[in-house]
Structure 1
Amino acid sequence: MQRIIIAFFTSLGVLLGGVLVGSLASAFTQQSPIKLMFKLAKDIKLWAIATAIGGTFSNLRVLEGGFMEGKISLVAKQLLVLISAFLGAQLAIWLITILTGGK
Structure 2
Amino acid sequence: MDTFFSKAILDFCIAFGVVFGGSMLAGIGSVFVFAPPAAMMIDTASRLKIWALVAAVGGTIDPMRVIESNMIEGHFSPVAQQIGFMICAFLGAHMGTELIRWLCKGAV
- Give TM class, smaller chain: over 0.9
Alignment-derived partner of residue 22 in structure 2: 18
Q: How does 1:2-81 map to 2 (within 5 A)?
A: 2-81=6-85
Give the 3-state SS of the residue equivalent to 1:56 in structure 2: coil
Q: Which amino acid is 2:97 matched to?
A: I
Segments of 4+ in structure 1 off by > 3 A? none
- CA deviation map 1:18-38 (0-9, x unaligned): 111122221232210000001
- Tell me the percent identity: 36
Aligned residue pair count: 103
Give the root-mean-square deviation of aligned CA atoms: 1.3
Distance in 2, Cα, partners of 1:10 & 1:99: 20
**For structure 1, which segment, 68-77 or 24-33, has the greater mean C-alpha deviation from structure 2 after superposition?**
24-33
